[in-house]
């Protein structure tokens, strides 16, 4: 386990609208099937989220992008080597909905590529 030299204050998670609605109703996101299988919730940094969308959510609709504040989850967050040797944030706990600062629907462009908001940190 390593930590990036400059720890970002915000990390990102893509999930379905249905999963986000359930997390809001229950107060926490417990992870997707993929997360449960791996034993942690997968996140991306601002620099990684476009590739994550293309690799794992290609052409999918009804998706939400979450801006997650690192501070309230830092105790359970680990930075681990993943795709291409890059460090990715992995949460070894549920994601409390109060740690989410913003949520936005992800639209597809004419080519079926997700259009990410310009305001990623």
Q: Categorize the per-residue pLDDT at 119 as very low, low, confident or very high, splitting at 50, 70 and 90.
A: confident
Q: In 3D, which of 121, 70, 78, 117 has the Cα closest to residue 96?
A: 70
Q: Is the pLDDT of residue 3 over 70?
A: no
- Contact between 68 and 18 (Cβ < 8 Å): no
Q: Categorize the per-residue pLDDT at 101 as very low, low, confident or very high, splitting at 50, 70 and 90.
A: very high
Rounded to whole angstroms, the Cα distance separating 40 from 85 reads: 18
Q: Is the pLDDT of residue 118 over 70?
A: yes
Q: Is the pLDDT of residue 86 over 90?
A: no
Domains identified in the chain and CATH numbers = 10-107 (3.20.170.20)
Residue 84, pLDDT score: 80
Residue 117, pLDDT score: 87
């Amino acid at each position: 386990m390593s930590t990036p030299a400059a720890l970002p204050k915000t990390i990102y998670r893509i999930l379905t609208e249905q999963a986000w609605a359930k997390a809001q109703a229950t107060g926490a996101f417990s992870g997707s099937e993929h997360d449960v299988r791996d034993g942690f919730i997968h996140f991306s940094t601002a620099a990684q989220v476009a590739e994550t969308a293309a690799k794992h959510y290609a052409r999918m609709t009804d998706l939400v992008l979450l801006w997650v504040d690192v501070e309230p989850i830092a105790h359970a967050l680990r930075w681990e080597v993943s795709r291409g040797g890059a460090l990715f944030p992995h949460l070894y706990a549920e994601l409390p909905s109060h740690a989410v600062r913003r949520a936005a629907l992800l639209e597809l462009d004419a080519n079926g590529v997700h259009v990410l908001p310009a305001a990623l940190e």
